[in-house]
Chain A
């Protein structure tokens, strides 16, 4: 018994030692935090974000980074925020304790917002690759950025597209901050553009059965159904839509634009539309190459890994320009960022929202997402 206790204490000591900072290396270590839900229902998307950050770090390390004439190396610290606001603040505090140079994350708006206050207090820049709630960057913090279009920008673009192809519009949202945010904006904009919103129904992000709301929508005879929510619900919804014999156009937002959606819809996805922030990967220099390398390493791109990749790249680029990894020194450079990434140009407005963020509409053709138009 005594020996076990001793072994345990030794193990703890070794663990603490492993946690302690390595400062003996002559190399400069750029420690970047990556926060996303790695467990729970959104973990496949969270892991995808994390993989994007890791790939950026690997690419940078292979290429070699020099910060103020010193060779540097990027180290990624990944934490699971469980998509839970409270856990997110603990993760944020952990990053602050570990004195990371910057944070890529969080995945959700509901976690990015409470965490942003802690990063702001500590002066650590935070770039979310996927939080779209408008209020995230409108809190008056200098340290909050995002590389995706916000709900207002994307909802507007979706409305422009929808009113081109349809007059009678039905809406479903998943009652989350993301889904409700974009659906409400979409509803407001299509109405102002003269379309008729015949129904706004609701589901939730754990649901699998949508037949009741789809049946009730069927009775209102829309031409187009917009869904504000994630792929895990959009896919099965698509199946049930077709089984009920409801022949309408389907339009999703970025949460639905994944290979997962096509897989889960099981053949019913053909012809569905969805939007994604930025410019399609295949039309970007280096986009195809990124896709090929990412797929080889981690499997199919789910949703936001190109954005988390770009966010990491833009952050390190700002450090290189500033010649420092000190947040207070490189933050102004990040704010004036002008980086060409795989999803488009990364530069921010004064709130930290992406400047001139384009939105592209995709359609499922022959079992793959194909870009239709960029708005």
Chain B
């Protein structure tokens, strides 16, 4: 039972990271119908910038959380600028092109960002200094570390804020209008180009936060860390119903838990035939099952019901 609860905690923490990254995919997809393959790499840039800032300021004697705070702020600014640029240069000119064209530029941007990062920060795995209090709290045999708690709270707060913004604010209204019908939205006085830019900027800021979390949690950053993470997050977004903010959160946490339980119990369930080496097979199998019965994901495509 302890082990089961521990696996559940592991899964939820991993899942909230997936969820946070998945939000970036979902926002962009909801509005443009585009899989922004480069999103995972913006997460990576976020982690790298935070790390650079932390290293730069590490001599000042500021406490760890303050360093991370400043770092994430700078990273958010850099990522927002980057997100804006990427949309402007690589996606906007292709808005009327065949739909696979921006997918290819997205792959190009992903390769470009990875190799730029390699040139700037090097080939090595970079390590985050231990910034948070180490050790962990134990509740009836289940251990949880301060940073895990922080991740849960921070991602919960960000998701709540985003959900509120999209549903309740004027900006959110404009975003939803643009998602449903860009031409009509323009007629109604919405500057859809601006809204699309803002969407990218918000998604990139979330990416910066996610990148910092991943870096600080696992203690490492590397120029190709974004690709697999992005892919998992994209899977999570599809599982929940891509284009749907609640869907991204649900999908993220679900995927985290599925992976965790898959790694933990697959061996025991199949009598040792399939072990933790089939963890990803298990996750994809669940995804396929879900999609066979609910072809638009668990929660459907609320935000982005495109015409």
Contacts and interface: CB of A to CB of B under 8 A. Distances in A.
Task: Indicate if A touches B (C-beta under 8 A).
Answer: yes
A219 B135 CA distance: 20
A215 B10 contact: yes
Interface stretch (B173-181, B221-229, B288-296, B298-306): B221-229
A264 B130 CA distance: 10
Contacts of B219: 235-236, 239, 264-266
A188 interface: no
Nearest to A201: B276
A236 B218 CA distance: 6
A239 B143 CA distance: 14
A181 to B, nearest CB: 15
Interface stretch (B98-106, B194-202, B258-266): B258-266
B130 A267 contact: yes
B129 A266 contact: yes
Contacts of A201: 263, 267, 275-276
Interface string A22-60: 000000000000000001110110010000000000000
A39 B7 contact: no
Contact-size category for A: 35 or more
Interface stretch (B23-31, B65-73, B119-127, B164-172): B119-127
Interface string B198-227: 000000000000000010001110101100
Interface in A205-222: 206, 208-209, 211-213, 215-216, 218-219
A240 B220 CA distance: 12
A218 B127 contact: no
A333 B56 CA distance: 54
B264 to A, nearest CB: 4
A93 interface: no
Nearest to B124: A44
A219 B3 contact: yes
A374 B303 CA distance: 64
B43 interface: no
Nearest to A245: B143
A65 B123 CA distance: 34
Nearest to A246: B143
Nearest to B214: A208
B130 A203 contact: no
B274 to A, nearest CB: 10
A260 interface: yes
A-B pairs, 10 with minimum CB distance: A202-B277, A212-B263, A43-B123, A211-B10, A212-B260, A44-B123, A216-B264, A219-B3, A208-B218, A44-B124
